[in-house]
Structures are given as structure tokens and as C-alpha cells.
Structure 1
Amino acid sequence: MKLPLSGALAVTLLASAGTLAVSAPAQAAPAPARALTAHASTTHHAPHAANVTFAGTVALDDCSGSIVRMPNSQGADPALVMTNGHCLESGMPNPGQVITNQPSNRDFTLLDDSGNPIGDLQASSVVYSTMTNTDVTIYQLPESYDDIQQQYGISPLTISANHPTAGTPIEVVSGYWQATYSCNISGFVYELKEGSWTWKDSVRYTSSCNTIGGTSGSPVIDTNTGLVVAVNNTGNENGERCTVDNPCEVDANGKVTVHQGTNYAEETYEIPACFAPGNKLDLTLAGCTLPK
């Protein structure tokens, strides 16, 4: 998992190669404040169609995230923030656990297109959180998209309702580090296992997306369309097999392979089908396949 490394939590929650740092306490100690204002972009950028910036991304105390909308969301709808399930402030959900409509006052630092902090937002609730099949937390804000646009000039990122495609150029945008990582979707993993958790149909990056601790929850943006296609969450740091911070790949026949230094994300195309008009979560909707 990709939580920032802290001295006390030397279990490398999402340390260097971008792992899902699933260990002890779910939250690592906050990075120094300067981490939110220095060293904007750290990667090489290939030309792309969409103008991908930091606008719409947020920094949490130990993770990254983004303000997101569904394809049918309206400006007056309550705004949503997406990050990882393992970034949930109350602790990482257990395998099989789904959390919905839980009060929250989680703070987010909103960034402008250059990665500069321009305001603070606070959640009103956890709409949905799980680490089963996927690794996602979605918060609701008291403000609407229109409110945020009027006050800060920031528009949300849109989650694609379509399955991503292998070979697609992508950019991982970390609000925590104000850093971006450019690469392509290498392919998809039938099952990705890390510690006690299993994720299905995960996105595998090509080698240039060397995400690090603190990038957990970063939106993965298709640079052809500008749409969010996944949420960054983990990587194999030390070459271990299926352990925390060292996920392994399992194919449909049960064959296990380990790819040290490879990083991953969880697809997000299933999310829009679970939201009714008004950004209301409804896991009973036809076509909703998120864990219930």
C-alpha cells in the first residue's frame, strides 16, 4: 500500500515502490508540511491529449485523493472525494467488510492546477469504503461541486464508466507529494493478493510509474480523455510473495507470480453504476457490482 513512511511505522506503508502499506495502524504519521508545497512534478511527461494538472486533487494527512463526479453528476450535487480503502481514518477495512454512510470530519487540502494548496475542505461522511475486490473510500463533502467551483475555481474529475484498455497512456497525480507519474497500462491482473486482502481485475503499470509512499489514493487519469480510470494503491517493494507491501499476481488458474518493483491500481469504472441521481449511493441498483 502507498502510505507515507514514518519513523515509528518502519513497516514501509506504501514506501518507496508505492505499496499498499497494509500493516499495523492504517495511518502513518503526517509528512512535514513542506511536502505539500515543494517539488511539484517528479516525472517525465510524454505528450498527451488531455491537459492533466493537479486541479481537482487533494492531499490527506497520509494519502492522496481527488474530488470526483459521476458521469451524470450535477453541479448542485454534494461533492465527493475518492481515495483508497486503506486510507480510511478509522482503520483499514477487514477482508469482506464494507462501510457505508459513516460520519466523518476528515480534512483535505485542495490544490490548484500547479499543485499549490488553495483551501481546506472537510468531509461530512464516508459514503463507501472497502478493501474487498477493490481498494476505495469515497467521502461526501457538505459543499456542492458548484460551491467549490465558485469559491476556488476548481472542477471535479470525472470517473469513466468504461473498463480501461491495456496500452492506454495514464498519469498518476499525487496531491500528497504534488508529484505526477506518467506511464501506460501494462495489463490487468486477475487477482492481486496482499496480506489478507484480495483485489480483482487490478491495473498493472508499465515500469515508469514508480509510485512511492503517500501516493495511495491518487487518481489514475487516462491522458487521452482526461477521465479517471483507476485509483493508485500498491506495489511490490521487496520481491516477497503476497505479503503486506509485496502483492503477488494470481491468474485464473491459480498460478502465483511476483513482480518486484511493479506498481498497481484498482479500477473505478464500477463505481458510477452504484450512484443514483444526486450522488446517492445505492448498492441495489441494477448493474452495481461493488461489494455490498
Structure 2
Amino acid sequence: MRRSILGVLAAACLGTATLTAPPAATAAPAPPRAAVDYTGIVALSNCSGSLVRTPTAASTDPALVLTNGHCYEGGMPSAGQVITNRASSRSFTLLNPSGQGSLGTLRASRMLYATMTDTDVTLYRLNRSYASIQQAYGTTALELSLAHPTAGTDLRVVSGYWRRTYSCTLDGFAYRLRESSWTWKDSVRYTSSCDVIGGTSGSPVIDASSGKVIAVNNTINEDGGRCTLNNPCEVDEAGNITVRPHIGYAQETYILAACIAPGSVIDFNRPGCLVPRG
């Protein structure tokens, strides 16, 4: 889980890490995509992330940024810990579509949800609406899929920190993925060409055909170690352990996307909301 878990090592190498809207609450437009680029991609001080929206988000809703739980500025949540609804002023660098430059800086107003239990996510609410960001920067948010991912999907892992895109296939799913004291459920497993590195933590995992976010990148087995920090192992339903050296993983996001209610708030009672509750 690289902070190294995929973020901390990079930070050590490179250095640490007004709502405006139109009158009507129309639906935020889905981003038109001929190919996956850096539209909606952000860089954090030590990780990667993305500007995201649900399919039914209104243009007047405060915008959201998604990254890993282990990228939370308050420190990595412990096993079993869920953190919700904390004030935050964290900043994010919004990249241009080519990834060669930045459009500006976005800023959080709240950290809505962070955990490393069952999944590895942090979700921030910004101090600007989707409409305000589109008007200022001409960019749209990535849409979160509400469906379980499918094996064989053509994937793009887009890192705002490194401004690098990895291409691979969704190889399958780990019933449980264990790393040090943390355990994640139903994790996405990449084929070997997504050989992600420190700083790619929190990158959106994008279905290349639909342009939708289906997961968030979070770890890779670096050294062939067994269930240790930066060396996750797979655990099946019978408790058998499999180690896959140099294979990376991501955490599905549909279980969190279903929790996002109008106005960019978390409602754990919404149908399909499957993340641990605070």
C-alpha cells in the first residue's frame, strides 16, 4: 500500500508533501472522451487523485476529489478506523488535459470520508462547485461508475503526481488483500504492465472504453514479501495465502460512489452504500 504505500516514498524524494454556480441546478455534464487523458486529474503533495462526480450530480453541487485513505493529511487511518466530516483546507493541483501543465489550484473545505478498512479511500469536498470549476478552467470531472468492475476490462491508471499513465488489463479480484495490519475486500488486481510506483497512490483507475472511474490505485507487491508493508498478499475464502511479486492492486469505488447524496454529502443509508460506517 504505498505511501510508500504508493505515496510516501515519492514525497521523501521530491519534497512533501467561494461557491459560485449558475442559478439552476442542472446535471453536471459527463466528460466527452475519445481517449483517456489528464482531464479531471489532480496532484497532491504526496499522492495522486481525481476530480470526480456521480452520474446524477448537479452542476451546483460542491465538487469532490478522490484519493487513497493512506494519503489523508491527518495520517494513515489504523485498521478498523473510519474518519468522517473533518474540516480540511488541503490543496490540489488541477492538471490540463495533456498533463504537461496545471490549470490552477483547487482547495478542500471538508474531508468527507477516509478509511483503510475494507477499502483505501479519502473523499474531499471542495469549496467550489462543478460549474464554477468548469467555468474557470474549462474542465469536467470524471464520472464514478456505480457498477462492480469486470475482469478483462482495459484499464488506465492516471497519476497526477508523476503525470504518467499506466495501461493494463483487469486481471481479476482478490477476495481479501492483506498488507501489514490492513485488510481490503474484493480488490482489483492488475496485469503486470501496471507496475505502479510511489506517488501513484490515489490515481483513478479508469475503464478505457467508458472513461469512468471504477477503482482507486493503492498498492503493489514490491519485493515478493508475504503480507507485509508494501508487500500485500491475497487471502482466499479458505484462508489460503497467495503472493504475487510485482503485481499491483486497486480498491473498487462503486461502494463509495453509492453513498454520495445530492449536495455532495455522505449518506450511509443510500442503497448500494457498502463502505464501513463512521
Q: TM-score by structure 2 length?
A: 0.90
Question: Does the 8 Å contact 1:71/1:272 carry over to 2?
Answer: no
* Partner residue, 2:205: 220
* Partner residue, 1:71: 55
Question: Does the 8 Å contact 1:101/1:125 carry over to 2?
Answer: yes
Gapped regions of structure 1 (runs ≥ 5):
4-12, 34-48
RMSD: 1.7
Alignment partner of 1:144 is 2:129: yes
Q: Which runs of 4+ in 1 moved over 3 A?
A: 27-30
Distance 1:196 1:20 in 2: 18
Distance 2:271 2:208 in 1: 30
Q: Deviations over 1:91-137 (max 9, x none)?
A: 00111111111011111100010111120111111000000000000
Distance 1:263 1:180 in 2: 14
* Partner residue, 2:249: 264
* Partner residue, 1:39: none
Q: Write the letter of the residue equivalent to 2:45.
A: D
Question: Does the 8 Å contact 2:7/2:199 carry over to 1?
Answer: no
Amino-acid identity (%): 57
- Give the number of aligned pairs: 260
Distance 2:220 2:199 in 1: 12
Q: Deviations over 1:161-218 (max 9, x none)?
A: 0000000000000000000000000000000000000000000000110111100000
* Partner residue, 1:241: 226
* Partner residue, 2:92: 108
Question: Does the 8 Å contact 1:20/1:234 carry over to 2?
Answer: no
How has the CA–CA distance of structure 1 residues 107 and 190 changed in structure 2, closer, same or farther, with 3 Å as cutoff? same
Measured after TM superposition, the shift of residue 50 of structure 1 is 4.4
* Partner residue, 2:19: none
Q: Write the letter of the residue equivalent to 1:138.
A: L
Distance 1:195 1:109 in 2: 31
Question: Does the 8 Å contact 1:204/1:262 carry over to 2?
Answer: yes
Question: Does the 8 Å contact 1:2/1:63 carry over to 2?
Answer: no
Measured after TM superposition, the shift of residue 30 of structure 1 is 6.7
Gapped regions of structure 2 (runs ≥ 5):
17-32
Question: Does the 8 Å contact 1:237/1:245 carry over to 2?
Answer: yes
* Partner residue, 1:2: 2
Which of 151, 164, 167 pairs up with 2:152? 167
Instruction: Report the 3-state secondary structure (helix = DSSP H, G, I; strand = E; otherwise coil) of the residue aligned with 1:76.
Output: coil
Instruction: Report the 3-state secondary structure (helix = DSSP H, G, I; strand = E; otherwise coil) of the residue aligned with 1:229.
Output: strand
Q: Deviations over 1:218-248 (max 9, x none)?
A: 0000001000000000010011100000000
Distance 2:13 2:220 in 1: 21
Alignment of 1:4-83 (within 5 A): 13-14=4-5, 19=6, 28-29=11-12, 31=14, 50-83=34-67
Distance 1:277 1:184 in 2: 33
Instruction: Report the 3-state secondary structure (helix = DSSP H, G, I; strand = E; otherwise coil) of the residue aligned with 1:270.
Output: helix
Alignment of 1:175-186 (within 5 A): 175-186=160-171
Which of 173, 182, 202 pairs up with 1:197? 182
Distance 1:20 1:236 in 2: 14
